[in-house]
Amino acid sequence: MNEAVDSGNDVRWVIYSRAFFGLMQRDMRVLSREIVPFLIRVAMNPLLFLFVFTYVMPHMSGGARMSPVAGLAAAGGSGGFGTVLLPGLMAVAIMFSGIAAVALPLAQEFGVTREIDDRVMCPLPIGAVAIEKIVFSGIQSLFAAAVVFPLAYYIPSTPVLAHVSSWWFLIAVLVLASLLAGALGLTIGTSVQPKQIGLIFGVVIVPITFLGCVYYPWAALQSIKWLQIGVLVNPIVYMSEGLRAALTPTTGHMPEAMILAMLVFFLALLTWLGMRGFASRVLS
């Protein structure tokens, strides 16, 4: 009897695995057909920001006085503002790519056509379909970070002081941050109505980006204590600080143990919220 039950469980897991990777393969094929728009979406914002603030303005006469970020250059040591920006812009690319890979498609799938019904008809639990979306968005986010890195490293006119302090820590931060971005996208995509998804980017995404220690280290907020404490509820802070600790350890950053702990905490919280919202929207 037990052998029959075990055999049935094995068959079920084989079916689940094939269905899961089938969904992944389908999404990969769709992405491969849209690879050029994906690259443009990922690279355009950091490319323009880097070109203007770390290349054009330093070459302008009096650029140091005109630049609103000149005062932060000291945080990057001799590498200047480019060193501060490298991990922050990678974090932004991870976040935007992860959210766009989940929240925007969900707005269409939960729309009038209810395309999500076709997806959940595959032989998988509803929660596993949500997990597949997070994993697939995580893969896109990792790719986005890889695209942004050479831009943020080579465009600044001053040398960027990047040095990997620990490859294991860097890999852990990249994986956790990428999955966290997907979980955030799932939570957003299942919490708002499809017609309001554009509003969320202006009301939620932009503020958490500017308050996510992307363009400045968390330690630089020491003189504004209430803000330094307040931004700790922002998961983007730990993405930026984690990449800062891994890639530019000469700049001030949070303790590594705290970064990993908070990334895991927000990943678990947002995954739970996203899966619950996904199941509710599918079954409604």
Structure tokens of 137? 């968005």
Q: Show the beta-strand stretches assigned E in 70-157.
A: none
Angle (deg, nearest 10), helices 81-109 and 126-154: 150
Using the Cα atoms of residue 221, residue 169, residue 205 and residue 66 in order, give the sign of their dihedral.
positive
pLDDT-based confidence at residue 184 (cuts at 50, 70, 90): very high
Higher per-residue pLDDT: 139 or 162: 139
The pLDDT tens digits of the residues spanning 11-55 come to 777 777 787 787 778 878 877 887 887 788 777 777 777 777 666
Percent of the chain topping pLDDT 70: 81
Give the pLDDT confidence score for residue 4 in this predicted structure. Answer: 52
For the chain, which residues make up each domain, given as ranges? 2-64+71-283
Structure tokens of 49? 């920001």
